[in-house]
Amino acid sequence: SKAKLFDQNTEVKTTFKDVAGLEGAKEEVQEIVDFLRYPEKYTTLGGKIPKGALLVGPPGTGKTLLARAVAGEAKVPFFSLSGSDFVEMFVGVGASRVRDLFKQAKEKSPSIIFIDEIDAIGRARGKNAMSGSNDERENTLNQLLTEMDGFGTNTNVIVMAATNRADILDKALMRAGRFDRQIFVDLPDIRERKEIFEVHLRPLKKTKDLDLDFLSRQTPGFSGADIANVCNEAALIAARNGKKAVDKQDFLDAVDRIIGGLEKKNKIIT
């Protein structure tokens, strides 16, 4: 069978309720939801609806989640692919995949295109020009720029992209009419960690003595993804020990485990 070119989700269930914290970012993307739902409100006044927004922040902070929630709130289809899928791709495949993606999104408009890890294709051009795969990356990037420039003002497709390396992106991507909006998605502070715990504790059967303030204090530096992992790991630990509900000790053990994993990861990087 033909390999899947990109993910397409026409009925996104994720909403802002699933995204804890990130108040500032949510406020900024609320406007995108508005553009998608009521484009006339903006175009009748002669305004140009923005085409692209770049979500910038560390791994696991909810960038993908937030983009998906925009689609869910606006009730529009969500098309997504990851920049890392383009690495090691045969000549011409990357560009044609991008072309296809935009074609489909336009057919289903209003819609959202989401490109995760855009730095994998959007790194500044002209560096390491010797390697062949790099040429292909440039072709893909050029196609992306061409597609965004080709959008009419009433195309009603908004392109969201995510990166944790905005500093290495080709400046051409940030030009007016492309990803001219940057939205910062940071690691959660203690209050936000508590909110993220609330979201991920919802589906768990847990004991009454669980103290969310305590858990939030125990997890400085954790991302939303780390906290989601803690909650899942705690449930697995409780199940392994034959418990009827997840308790405080299970969470402490899970936090230890995740910290162990983070330390290992950092050791490999540095």
Q: Which is nearer to ligand ATP, 136 or 195 (CB)?
A: 195
Q: Which is nearer to ligand ATP, 19 or 76 (CB)?
A: 19
Name the minimum Å distance from CB 186 to ligand ATP.
10
Output b/e per residue, 42-54; b: 16+ Cβ within 10 A.
beeeeeebbbbbb
Q: How far is the CB of 149 from ligand ATP (least distance, A)?
A: 26
Q: Interface with ligand ATP by CB under 6 A: which residues?
A: 19-22, 59-65, 116, 162, 164, 196, 199, 224-225, 228
Q: Which residue is nearest to ligand ATP (CB)?
A: 224
Task: DSSP letter for 208, please.
Answer: T
* Residues flagged as binding site: 57-64
**What distance in Å separates the CA atoms of residue 197 and residue 9, rounded to the nearest whole number?**
27
254 exposed, middle or buried (CB, 10 Å; 0-12, 13-18, 19+)? Answer: buried
Q: How far is the CB of 259 from ligand ATP (least distance, A)?
A: 17
Tokens of 255: 């936090």
The Cα-based distances of 35 to 39, 111, 166, 201 in angstroms read 5, 11, 25, 33
Residue nearer to ligand ATP on the CB measure, 91 or 190: 190
Shortest Cβ distance from residue 38 to ligand ATP (Å)? 26
Known binding residues for ATP are 57-64
